Structure 1
Amino acid sequence: MPTPNSAAEQGSVAGRRSLEGLRVIDLTQALAGPFCTSLLADHGADVVKVEPPRGDMLRATGPYGDEDETRAYGGVFQSANRNKRSIVLDLKTAADRDVLLQLVDDADALVENFSAGVMERFGLSYEELSRRNPRLVYTSIRGFGDARGGRSPYGSWPAFDIIAQAMGGLMSITGPDENTPVRAGSGLGDTIPALFAAFGTMTALWEARQSAQGQYVDVAMVDSVLALSEVVVNTFAHTGEVPVPNGNQLAGFAPFDTVKAKDGVVTLGAPHNPQWTKLCGIMGRPELVEDPRFATDHARWENREAVYEVVEDWTRRHTVAELIDLLGGEVPLGPIHNAADIFADPHFAAREMLPRVEQPGTGRAVAVPGVAAKLSRTPGAVVRRAPLLGEHTEEILGEIGHDSRAPTAS
């Protein structure tokens, strides 16, 4: 289904997004903060992106199409800032700080990911803003959190995705072996904190409906990654053992890995008795179910080399397409999709996971990741492209009764 871009098309989704009427002031840059606020914008929140005159640093990051001569922003910025409006404010000036305060007066939430102390130096601390707007929910995302949530010895350290993945434990269990730690290929050190920040913001907003009081939501990138690295915590807490990478396997589960086909590789998971029994039947090896080496989940893990030997002896005799026909819908199995495969797969089209928006400077539309949470009555939607720098400055200033000024050119 085409994504609405015109005013008329945008109007067609009015009332169908659950956060309409919510206003969020977005002071974030890079990926973690903008990804958080994009989730709110997808569900109808009016996210006002406040940018410095030079713009969000992510605007200068690709990928760019070859035909994009203006390079107003690349693909990462487009994805993380769709559905938002942009206003340029120079918070180093008293006049623009005053504009921000006026925006905060009518806001429900504010999200920022500055280094610790920056907002205080601007005179825009949580305490100052909450005095003006007691119901304001104030969310910060920092590498090691804010002192308000617990003073970290690393509180002043800067951080990127790879730092969060490393110190949050994810890299210690990712890769082929313990001597080759590997960063997950996507920016999980940013997007996982963004998910927690969006969740924390909405939790605080729900409470504020009852109390009429906002609160501070403190999210640390490393904490967020740790919270999703369940193997690290659970293994050490219960056994005292330090888990190490198992490649594509998951400790305690077999078969649960990639397996070789005649013409490629697929992922396969049949670690529990019902799945294993079904797999053995399809392989024509029902006797394996009674084999004491494979009779229980734990036995299969302890004898995993033998498990993979018998499974791959069968999978290597079939192509990937044949394995999908034989196991698809019966035993958990999936081909390893690259980008081209994803764009061609009917699942993602049916689920509207690749909506298209205009890409400035190209004369064409580009896909962005769609709305993952499908609400039955008030579905979210991607209704507009990411904004040009300062594109809505005049519009937003007019809404607060402030003297308008021309938007900054991008």
Structure 2
Amino acid sequence: MTPAAVVPGALDGLVVLDLTRMLAGPYATMMLADQGAHVIKIEPPGGDLTRRNGPHPDGALKIGERGFGGYFASINRNKDSITLDLKKPAGKATLLRLVHKADVLVENYRAGVMERLGLGYEVLIAENPRLVYAALRGFGDPRSGASPYANWPAYDPVAQAMGGIMGITGAAPGGPPTKIGPGVGDLVPATFLAYGVAAACWRAQRSGQGQFVDVSMVDAVLALCERLVFQYSVSGVAPGPEGNGHPLLCPFGLFAAKDGFVSLGVPNDRFWVPLAHRMGRPALAIDPRYASNDARVQHRAEVEAIVGGWTARHTKAELAQMLGGDIPFGPVFSAADIFEDPHFRIREMLVETEQPGAARPLTVAGTPVRMSQTPGGVRRRAPLTGEHTDSTLAAFGFAPAEIAALRADQVIQ
């Protein structure tokens, strides 16, 4: 699919100053941009360091040419870019002028960085009382709870480890923990931050009062692991790696097929009966050892051996034909499978975007949030470094002479 037509999004008119970097912060502002917010990415001189991260399609502009790789392209689409040196007094003064007309500012520096720059929340909210200031840090901001780890740097694996999700993920029950493939330690906090920003903006529109929105990466991962909390609260036993099954349901998880793996879920007895018939074992539906979920959980090894033995005799396509539409089922897809499957094209989850300098477009993941009147989505590629500096400053009331002076002083590029 090509980028979505330019239709005003649900957040049309919302002005967001984006001081984020790496993955978590830019993903949060990307979510806002996908729904129509005017996100202005404020980059340091030389641009965001993640512009250097690949992969780089053949011919694509590299960082020395103010370009970007696939990493940056995916999570910075729909944004404008300006460069601004916040270490210089004129750079700080410029940001304050932007803040005066903005609705939201998002940053994901370590605690204290913005304060050392003289641009902390208290300074900016005094400049614009309706500003929603959003911060995403590894262990949160001391304003809403001073963690003993507040000064620790944190990235995805740290959040996965300390937030609990790694401890319940592993190939086999009782085995070593496993890191989840996608950066959920970044992406889940980003999603919570975008949600928090939207909620705070709703209040600010009605009350005229902004506020500080704080998301800890570790807290967000723990929130995702909600089952871990109540299980331990009730039993006093800390859950461990669960393999590819489910501690409370059976059969529920991954099973081998002739040509790969499939995911099969039987969350209640209603689905067990037709599964037993599809397997050619109707007696299993009334056998007291297997007829109820509680009984199947107690006889987990037997049930999984029966189901796994049956799935292993069939291909993924054959299993889809027998189970699809009647029993919760899905083949395990590779990226190649996803690109070939019609679902993702129909749902506009594979979007082609321009990659400056490259002979062919770059495909990025679309937005899963679809709205009937304000559809949102990927409308345009990620920006080149400082591509919108002059036009953005002019829109915020800077005179041509002021812009020229800032460039001469190397405050902007």
Shorter chain as denominator, the TM-score bin is over 0.9
Q: Deviations over 1:244-288 (max 9, x none)?
A: 112111111111121122332211111310111111121222211
CA–CA separation in structure 2 for the residues paired with 1:332 and 1:68? 42
State the SS of the aligned residue for 1:111.
strand
- The Cα shift of 1:316 comes to 2.2
CA–CA separation in structure 1 for the residues paired with 2:89 and 2:147? 32
- The Cα shift of 1:383 comes to 1.0
- The Cα shift of 1:364 comes to 2.0
Residues 1:112 and 2:107 aligned together? yes
Residues 1:212 and 2:211 aligned together? no
Q: Which amino acid aligns with 2:357?
A: G
Q: Which amino acid aligns with 2:147?
A: S
Pick aligned residue for 1:286 from 282, 286, 289: 282
Q: Deviations over 1:361-402 (max 9, x none)?
A: 213211111011111111102111011111110111111222
Deviating above 6 A after TM superposition, structure 1's stretches of 4 or more consecutive aligned residues are 406-410
CA–CA separation in structure 2 for the residues paired with 1:271 and 1:314? 19
**Corresponding residue of 1:9:** none
Q: Deviations over 1:76-125 (max 9, x none)?
A: 11111000000000000010111111110011111000111111111111
**Corresponding residue of 1:20:** 12
**Retained in 1: the 8 A contact 2:82–2:388?**
yes
Q: Which amino acid aligns with 1:162?
A: P
**Corresponding residue of 1:8:** none
**Retained in 1: the 8 A contact 2:16–2:40?**
yes
Pick aligned residue for 1:58 from 50, 57, 71: 50
CA–CA separation in structure 2 for the residues paired with 1:83 and 1:102? 23
State the SS of the aligned residue for 1:359.
coil
TM score, norm. by length of structure 1:
0.95
Pick aligned residue for 2:273 from 264, 272, 277: 277
CA–CA separation in structure 2 for the residues paired with 1:241 and 1:234? 11
Residues 1:265 and 2:261 aligned together? yes
**Corresponding residue of 2:295:** 299
**Corresponding residue of 1:240:** 236
| Pairing of 1:140-179 with structure 2 (within 5 A) | 140-177=135-172, 178-179=174-175
Deviates more, 1:216-225 or 1:358-367: 358-367
**Corresponding residue of 1:7:** none
**Corresponding residue of 2:126:** 131
CA–CA separation in structure 1 for the residues paired with 2:412 and 2:116? 28
Q: Which amino acid aligns with 1:53?
A: P
Q: Which amino acid aligns with 2:92?
A: R
**Retained in 2: the 8 A contact 1:84–1:387?**
yes
**Corresponding residue of 1:363:** 359
Q: Which amino acid aligns with 2:194?
A: A
Residues 1:89 and 2:81 aligned together? no
State the SS of the aligned residue for 2:262.
strand
**Corresponding residue of 2:3:** 3
CA–CA separation in structure 2 for the residues paired with 1:228 and 1:241? 19
**Corresponding residue of 1:308:** 304
**Retained in 2: the 8 A contact 1:31–1:191?**
yes
**Corresponding residue of 2:251:** 255
**Retained in 2: the 8 A contact 1:231–1:243?**
no
**Retained in 2: the 8 A contact 1:70–1:360?**
no
**Retained in 2: the 8 A contact 1:168–1:226?**
yes
Q: Which amino acid aligns with 1:404?
A: I
Q: Which amino acid aligns with 1:101?
A: L
**Corresponding residue of 2:386:** 390
CA–CA separation in structure 2 for the residues paired with 1:128 and 1:260? 58
Q: Which amino acid aligns with 2:101?
A: D
Structure 1 pair 349–145 and aligned structure 2 pair: CA distance change class (3 A): same
**Retained in 2: the 8 A contact 1:267–1:335?**
yes
- The Cα shift of 1:408 comes to 10
Q: Which amino acid aligns with 1:52?
A: P
CA–CA separation in structure 1 for the residues paired with 2:285 and 2:59? 58
Q: Deviations over 1:23-74 (max 9, x none)?
A: 0000000000000000000011000000000321211111222443535211
CA–CA separation in structure 1 for the residues paired with 2:309 and 2:33? 50
Deviates more, 1:305-314 or 1:377-386: 305-314
**Corresponding residue of 1:324:** 320
- The Cα shift of 1:210 comes to 1.7
Q: Where do 5+ consecutive residues of structure 1 fail to align?
A: 5-11
**Corresponding residue of 1:223:** 219
**Retained in 2: the 8 A contact 1:277–1:286?**
yes
Q: Where do 5+ consecutive residues of structure 2 fail to align?
A: none
Q: Tell me how large the CA RMSD over aligned residues is.
A: 1.6
- Give the fraction of aligned pairs with identical amino acids, expressed as a percent: 51
**Retained in 2: the 8 A contact 1:390–1:408?**
no
Pick aligned residue for 1:37 from 12, 29, 42: 29
Deviates more, 1:42-51 or 1:53-62: 53-62
- The Cα shift of 1:230 comes to 2.0
Q: Deviations over 1:172-231 (max 9, x none)?
A: 011124442111000000000000000001111111122110000010000000000123
CA–CA separation in structure 2 for the residues paired with 1:126 and 1:230? 31
**Retained in 1: the 8 A contact 2:2–2:353?**
no
State the SS of the aligned residue for 2:273.
helix
